[in-house]
Amino acid sequence: MRGREEEQGAMLLSITPEELVPRDHPIRRIRAITDRVLKEMSPVLGTMYSGLGRPSVAPERLLKASILMALYSIRSERQFCERLQYDLLFKWFLNMNIATPAFDHASFSKNRERLIQHQVAEQFFAAVVDEATKAKLTSDDHFTVDGTLLQAWASLKSVKPRDDDQSPPAGGKNADVDFHGQRRTNETHVSKTDPEARIARKGRGQEARLCFGGHVLMENRNGLVLDVLVTQASGTAERDATLVMLDRRKGPRKRVTLGADKGYDTRAFIEELRQREVTPHVAQHTTRRRSAIDGRTTQHEGYRLSQRVRKRVEEIFGWMKTVGGGRKLRYIGTRKNQLWATLTAATYNLVRMANLSAAPA
């Protein structure tokens, strides 16, 4: 017998989102870890707000919303808030009732500067890494570092000479720009849309784009992210960022190994690693040059193991660019994109930890 489409009417429900989310859903393990981390961070989050005035959107919900945006490849805060209005799984993850209306997308932009100022994303990321360390999921001896180019939210049409104070050409938002025959470099030109972005190319023969540099420090046991850094793109950004991440690494100061590709094979960088008691398991760069890594390092089995394991760092960049929505950045400036990268890397760790955990939520 054919069913009929009856008109939907309002009714009183005695059901919660908790009852609708399957008990074996993977996101339950992610939420369990997230709730533990946010509970520990509650005193820090309390210092961000005044005791007077109208209550704001809970910062815990803003952080959880950022996790959902990375998990479900949601391209904007406006789209997330639209989906939050009808997606019961989203409401369950944010501890909201079915009838609770979604908050406005402007809550993100109004609170983003507060999150940056109080370094909330960095503390959340560190707390997630601490959870992984307590569960013995991380290594404190063997690490891998790598970098990539992240396309900025700016077009090459926005690149102008630094001393150009002329008004923009007529033609609307997408005016024709003829820059053929001009030599444009980062020293002489700058993007008017994102002045912090830099002209860069991935390799010879490839097109130049406005980019930032993204850098990751990975531990080699389970491929978890220990640090993430967004910088301006330059020829030395990868090596400079590596030294910064190594210097702020937590844990006992002892001799460790660091795997990397041949782009890190320079004598100055290798010397910096040795001064920090870091054994450089860097791939040898022998094309028309002499490598700074000699047989004293390459003869060991640990070097060959590091070279095999280091390729897993590409999984991190692949996830952050595809699932996490970082193929083209959605924010302007280094600070805001650093906030995105930190929360996205924390989400990647949560996914890995949930998959590695055998115990149900």
**CA dihedral angle for residue 3, residue 20, residue 60, residue 87, rounded to 10 degrees:** -10
Contact 229, 257 (CB under 8 A): no
Residue 296 has pLDDT above 90, yes or no: no
Q: Helix 120-134 and helix 334-356: axis angle, to 10°?
A: 20
Both structure tokens of 304: 């060959």
CATH 3.30.420.10, applies to 139-152+211-334: yes
Over the stretch 71-82, which tens digit does the pLDDT of each residue have? Answer: 999 999 999 999
Element (H, E) at 143: strand 142-151
Judged by average pLDDT, the poorest of 74-83, 135-144, 178-187, 349-358 is: 178-187
Output 81-89 pairs: Cβ under 8 A, ≥24 positions apart: 81/105, 88/17, 88/20, 88/21, 89/17, 89/20, 89/21, 89/25, 89/27
Over the stretch 272-293, which tens digit does the pLDDT of each residue have? Answer: 999 999 999 999 998 888 999 9
Based on C-alpha coordinates, what's the Rg of the chain? 24
Residue ranges per domain, the chain?
17-118, 139-152+211-334
Judged by average pLDDT, the poorest of 36-40, 139-143, 165-169, 350-354 is: 165-169
How far is residue 314's CA from residue 146's CA, in Å, rounded to a whole number?
8
Q: Tell me which of 296 and 226 has the higher pLDDT.
A: 226
Kindly provide the b/e burial profile for residues 119-131, where b requires at least 16 CB atoms within 10 angstroms of the residue's own CB.
ebbbbbbbbbbeb
